[in-house]
């Protein structure tokens, strides 16, 4: 049998101060296919284990210097050696001796004089248990890694889904809410306002003479203008419950839950002034040298006899009036 075969079957450390016992066990276990190490006392055994980690230790109880009990205690107190199975060999048959060995962490004991068949059976059993334990530890580690990998994958998937959900509700050009998000949020705000009996306000905004601006500046210039207008609206409308959305083309919408008419009209005026302060030059505007905004404002306390479409229609009519009256203004239409 080769050295590699012996190492594969297992490594055994025999600790005994009697040379004849060491010789017999060494020869027997070596012939049985194990790699065998020997130590004549507890101190040398502890030192040897630090360098070569055996699979099983056969440990004599009665030895000079530190006895087998103390040797076992030190081995079990050391994290690097505490999992090595220790089998006591002793001629002491008292129950108290056996119990003390188990209390110190031994897995088994063999009475002296030892019988080879019993030694082989005990060693083989605990080597099998040890290999199964190692196998389970490896499987547990692999399982933990798989769980961590799955958790990371699930977290990444959740993040990707959130990103997709966000992208599905964001207007790509202006980076504010899109029409789909507007429709969903208006329905949600309507239900909440009806339940709480809150006033719900809606602003519809239109960039004045945007077609002329687009014709003069080109589509790239027009896109940049819409982006700046959208960002200006977002800066003015700051409450978490409010929503700024691109309604379509050069039109924007602002949903203001729990906001009365006076407050909504004030927000509309702030928005209109913020657009003027952008000072985006509009060479073809008949009313101003800069880009301006017209706004329609409507407010309602939702009830069973009304609908979100009624609020949209009112805001749209107010926007029409703002344009008819000369643009660059906010007009409120009562319901």
Do residues 120 and 191 share a domain?
A: no
Last residue in a domain, options 119, 139, 159:
139
Output the pLDDT for position 186: 97
* pLDDT tens digits for range 1-60: 444 444 568 899 999 999 888 999 999 999 999 999 999 999 999 999 988 889 999 999
Angle at the Cα of 276 (from 274 to 277), degrees rounded to 5? 65
Tally the domains of the chain: 2
Do the Cβ atoms of 56 and 84 come closer than 8 Å?
yes
Provide the residue range defining the domain that includes 211: 179-332
Is 163 inside any structural domain? no
Is 195 inside any structural domain? yes
Which residues, 6+ apart, have CB-to-CB distance to 41 below 8 Å?
15, 17, 63, 64, 65, 66
Residue from 322, 273, 271 nearest 296 by CA: 322
Tokens representing 84?
A: 């090595």
Do residues 193 and 325 share a domain?
A: yes
pTM (predicted TM-score) = 0.58
Last residue in a domain, options 118, 139, 160:
139
Going from the C-alpha of 237 to that of each of 163, 168, 207, 293, 332, the distances in angstroms are: 23, 22, 17, 15, 18
CA atoms of 211 and 139, how far apart (whole Å): 68
Do residues 128 and 231 share a domain?
A: no
Is 16 inside any structural domain? yes
Do residues 40 and 95 share a domain?
A: yes
Dihedrals phi, psi of 83, to nearest 5 degrees: -90, 0
Output the pLDDT for position 1: 46
Is 152 inside any structural domain? no
Output the pLDDT for position 91: 83
Do residues 116 and 202 share a domain?
A: no
Do residues 325 and 207 share a domain?
A: yes
Angle at the Cα of 131 (from 128 to 135), degrees rounded to 5? 135
CA atoms of 265 and 97, how far apart (whole Å): 93
Place of tokens 């296919």: 33
Q: Which residues are catalytic?
A: 250
Indicate the Cα dihedral angle 153, 167, 242, 253, nearest 10°: -170
CATH of the domain at 328: 3.30.70.270
**Sign of the torsion formed by the C-alpha atoms of 287, 291, 296 and 297:** negative
Do residues 86 and 14 share a domain?
A: yes
The DSSP bridge pattern shows strands 200-207 and 56-60 to be unpaired
Is 145 inside any structural domain? no
Do residues 183 and 105 share a domain?
A: no
Do residues 190 and 135 share a domain?
A: no
Is 162 inside any structural domain? no
CATH of the domain at 21: 3.40.50.2300
Is 160 inside any structural domain? no
Tokens representing 326?
A: 């000369």
Low-confidence ranges of the chain (pLDDT < 70): 1-8
Is 257 inside any structural domain? yes
Do residues 328 and 203 share a domain?
A: yes
* pLDDT tens digits for range 57-67: 999 998 988 99
Burial class (CB in 10 A: 0-12, 13-18, 19+), 41: middle
Last residue in a domain, options 91, 121, 139:
139
Tokens representing 304?
A: 């069973």
């Amino acid at each position: 049998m080769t050295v590699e075969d012996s190492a594969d079957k297992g490594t055994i450390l025999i600790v005994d101060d009697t040379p004849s016992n060491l010789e017999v066990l060494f020869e027997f276990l070596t012939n049985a296919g194990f790699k065998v190490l020997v130590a004549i006392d507890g101190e040398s055994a502890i030192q040897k284990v630090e360098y070569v980690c055996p699979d099983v230790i056969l440990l004599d109880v009665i030895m000079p210097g530190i006895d087998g009990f103390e040797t076992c205690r030190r081995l079990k107190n050391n994290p690097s050696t505490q999992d090595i199975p220790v089998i006591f060999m002793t001629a002491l048959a008292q129950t108290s001796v056996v119990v003390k060995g188990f209390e110190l962490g031994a897995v088994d004991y063999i009475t002296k004089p030892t019988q080879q068949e019993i030694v082989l059976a005990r060693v083989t059993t605990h080597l099998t248990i040890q290999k199964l334990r190692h196998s389970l530890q490896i499987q547990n580690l692999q399982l933990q890694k798989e769980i961590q990998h799955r958790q990371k994958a699930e977290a990444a998937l959740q993040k990707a889904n959130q990103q997709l959900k966000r992208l599905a509700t964001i207007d790509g050009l202006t980076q504010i809410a899109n029409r789909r998000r507007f429709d969903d949020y208006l329905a949600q705000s309507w239900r909440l306002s009806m339940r709480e009996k809150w006033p719900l306000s809606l602003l519809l905004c239109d960039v004045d003479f945007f077609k002329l601006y687009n014709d003069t500046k080109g589509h790239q210039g027009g896109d940049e203008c819409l982006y700046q207008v959208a960002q200006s609206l977002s800066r003015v409308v700051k409450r978490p419950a409010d929503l700024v959305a691109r309604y379509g083309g050069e039109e924007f919408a602002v949903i203001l839950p729990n906001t009365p008419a006076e407050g909504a009209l004030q927000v509309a005026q702030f928005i209109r002034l913020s657009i003027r302060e952008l000072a985006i030059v509009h060479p073809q505007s008949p009313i101003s040298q800069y880009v301006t905004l017209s706004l329609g404002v409507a407010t309602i306390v939702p009830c069973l006899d009304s609908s979100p479409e009624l609020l949209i229609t009112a805001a749209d009519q107010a926007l029409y009036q703002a344009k008819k009256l000369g643009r660059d203004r906010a007009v409120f239409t009562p319901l």
